[in-house]
Amino acid sequence: MGSKPYEVIVVGGGPIGSVLSRRLAQHGLRVLLVERRSSFNPPFRCTGLISPRCLKLSGLAKEAVLREIRGGYIYAPNGYSIQVESNIPKLYVIDRPRFDKLLIERAADTGVDVWLGCKVVRLENNKVWVERHGSYTTVTGRLIVGADGANSKVASCAGFPPIHNVLIGLQTVVPYRPKKDDFVEIFLGRSIAPNFFAWIVPAEDGLARVGLATDRIGAGYHYLMNFLNTRNLQPQSIRSGLIPIETRRRFVQGNVLLIGDAAGQVKPTSGGGIYPGLMATKLATKVIVRYISERLSERYLTTYERWWRSTIGSELKRGSLLRKSLNLLDDNILNYILKVLDHPHILRLIADYGDVDYPSRVVQKLLQHPAVWLQSLPFR
Ligand SMILES: Cc1cc2nc3c(=O)[nH]c(=O)nc-3n(C[C@H](O)[C@H](O)[C@H](O)COP(=O)(O)OP(=O)(O)OC[C@H]3O[C@@H](n4cnc5c(N)ncnc54)[C@H](O)[C@@H]3O)c2cc1C
């Protein structure tokens, strides 16, 4: 470690911090990436379900892909289920620790200085305090990026407005034989996971990732245990984490910029943050490169925020409306809706247009085809 000044210091070597660092270094910027973890081992508090489009954005090939997913069973609260099936892989299940490790290695290979096992504990103007094994060092950077996740230390040190709308996500790994190796299972219902859902995702052979998210932060563990016990599933260790489902009011303050979960860039429909965070790295890179190389004022950094809100941010806004609408439905209505959806034409539309990164597209398609709905209504 040294005290060499950097152009950009990125705090947090999750997927978003690593990819942003790599992109900046590819433009010739002098970048430091500081990551609290010193090793990358399972179990991990992420299901690792990402779209092929998201994998491509990460810059990795299929090195960390464990499985391809073609479809899913969606269960109503009363146990009734629908099956959505596509001919092509819609999702990948990734090995998240390996994914993170590979992305950090790629950043280092591109010329990023990487400090592992180092925790940022304080910021002041351009200075960052880093703690490692009880000793402290400082390092300076023209721009500080908080890519340090939902509990962002950078955001709290720099005085960003807090995110109020968060879920608790809990997950474990269980021995499991799925009905189909390339199908996920989604479980809806207030008694299962209030205001979100539970999932079973096949992962390594003979194992599945079982988890749920809910806005009942204090009761998440109880709901997960209940879900596991009623299915006679034996959990290994349980990991949990916060999922922000509301974007932060600001992403930029002075010379500090937030990205990924730290900025609340997460899909409110599924809780997935890897795709929107990676999209943000593309926008942030353009802005940061100009800010540094043309020595522009800090005000210019807010361009990143504007670009974000007018692109992927608007899909997240639609997702937020969708999530709020879904949360209004009680179990009886959910039972009814799944029954209505269980019609070959509707299931085909969902399979063809369902897109985990852009969920509003399938809703739009369904609304454009009222005839399909009418065919499936029980009182037609
Ligand atoms: C149970 C669960 C399941 C999920 N499943 C999915 C899924 O299937 N698909 C999906 O897209 N998303 C999923 N998510 C969300 C996903 O995990 C996050 O959106 C994603 O990890 C965000 O990436 P990030 O790089 O912004 O933050 P993180 O991955 O949280 O990375 C932040 C990094 O910062 C480091 N850090 C934190 N504080 C400091 C500090 N002070 N100093 C230095 N380093 C620090 C951390 O060690 C960490 O490595 C899930 C979340 C949960 C809780």
Atom of ligand 1 nearest to the CA of 211: 1
| Smallest CA separation from ligand 1 atom 3, residue | 46
Residue 57, in any domain of the structure: no
Clarify whether residues 305 and 335 are in a common domain: no
Antiparallel, parallel or unpaired: β 91-94 and 207-214: unpaired
How many Cα atoms are found within 13 Å in the side-chain-facing hemisphere of 344? 0
Clarify whether residues 268 and 153 are in a common domain: yes
Residue 139, in any domain of the structure: yes
- Show the ligand 1 pocket: residues with CB < 6 angstroms: 11-17, 34-37, 45-50, 119-120, 147-149, 153, 169, 171, 211, 241, 243, 260-261, 266, 271-275, 277
Ligand 1 pocket, mutate which of 96, 131, 148, 153 (most atoms under 8 A from CB): 148
Distance between CA atoms of 250 and 258, rounded to whole angstroms? 8
Clarify whether residues 302 and 346 are in a common domain: no
| Smallest CA separation from ligand 1 atom 50, residue | 46
Mean pLDDT of 105-131: 97
Distance between CA atoms of 300 and 173, rounded to whole angstroms? 45
Residue 144 is inside which H or E element, if any?
A: strand 135-146
Distance between CA atoms of 69 and 235, rounded to whole angstroms? 23
Residue 158, in any domain of the structure: yes
Where is the domain boundary, 281, 310, 339? Answer: 310
Let me know: does 13 contact 114? Beta carbons within 8 Å: yes
Range of the domain at 345: 328-376
Distance between CA atoms of 147 and 14, rounded to whole angstroms? 7
pLDDT tens track for 23-48: 999 999 999 999 999 998 877 889 99
Which of helix, strand or coil describes residue 124? strand
pLDDT value of position 178: 94
Q: How far is CA 64 from the centre of its chain?
A: 17
Give the single-character DSSP code of 160.
P
Distance between CA atoms of 217 and 243, rounded to whole angstroms? 10
Name the least confident of 17-21, 169-173, 368-372: 368-372
Ligand 1 pocket, mutate which of 54, 133, 261 (most atoms under 8 A from CB): 261
Clarify whether residues 338 and 287 are in a common domain: no
Token pair, residue 68, equals 């391809």
pLDDT tens track for 221-236: 999 999 999 999 999 8
What count of residues does the chain have?
380
| Smallest CA separation from ligand 1 atom 18, residue | 273
The dihedral of CA 158, 159, 165, 166: what is its sign? positive
Is the pTM value of this prediction over 0.85? Answer: yes
Atom of ligand 1 nearest to the CA of 170: 1
Mean pLDDT of 124-142: 95
Token pair, residue 76, equals 């109503």
pLDDT higher than 60, residue 3? no
Number of domains making up the chain: 2
The rounded Å distance from CA 362 to ligand 1 centre is 27
The rounded Å distance from CA 14 to ligand 1 centre is 6
State the SS3 of 169-201.
EEEEEEECCCCCCCEEEEECCCCCCCCCCEEEE
| Smallest CA separation from ligand 1 atom 49, residue | 14
Clarify whether residues 282 and 252 are in a common domain: yes
Clarify whether residues 251 and 370 are in a common domain: no
pLDDT value of position 369: 75
Ligand 1 pocket, mutate which of 41, 47, 186 (most atoms under 8 A from CB): 47
pLDDT higher than 80, residue 123? yes
* Distance in angstroms between the alpha carbons of the first and the last residue of the chain: 72
Partners of 8 in the β-ladder = 31, 143
- Percent helix, strand, coil in the chain, to 5, is 40, 25, 35
Which amino acid, residue 149?
G
The rounded Å distance from CA 25 to ligand 1 centre is 22
Distance between CA atoms of 366 and 364, rounded to whole angstroms? 5
Residue 83, in any domain of the structure: no
Residue 141, in any domain of the structure: yes
Atom of ligand 1 nearest to the CA of 168: 53
Distance between CA atoms of 380 and 378, rounded to whole angstroms? 6
Distance between CA atoms of 263 and 152, rounded to whole angstroms? 9
Which of helix, strand or coil describes residue 242? strand
pLDDT tens track for 321-376: 999 999 999 999 999 999 999 999 999 999 999 999 999 999 998 888 776 666 66
CB atoms within 10 A of CB 309: 14
List the CATH number of the domain containing 123.
Answer: 3.50.50.60
Q: Starting at the earlier edge strand, list the strands of the sheet with 207-214.
A: 81-85, 71-75, 183-187, 198-202, 207-214, 166-175, 239-244
CA angle (121, 124, 128) in 5-degree steps:
45
Mean pLDDT of 155-184: 96
Where is the domain boundary, 275, 310, 345? Answer: 310
Clarify whether residues 261 and 371 are in a common domain: no
Ligand 1 pocket, mutate which of 36, 41, 167, 246 (most atoms under 8 A from CB): 36
Mean pLDDT of 246-262: 97
Clarify whether residues 301 and 332 are in a common domain: no
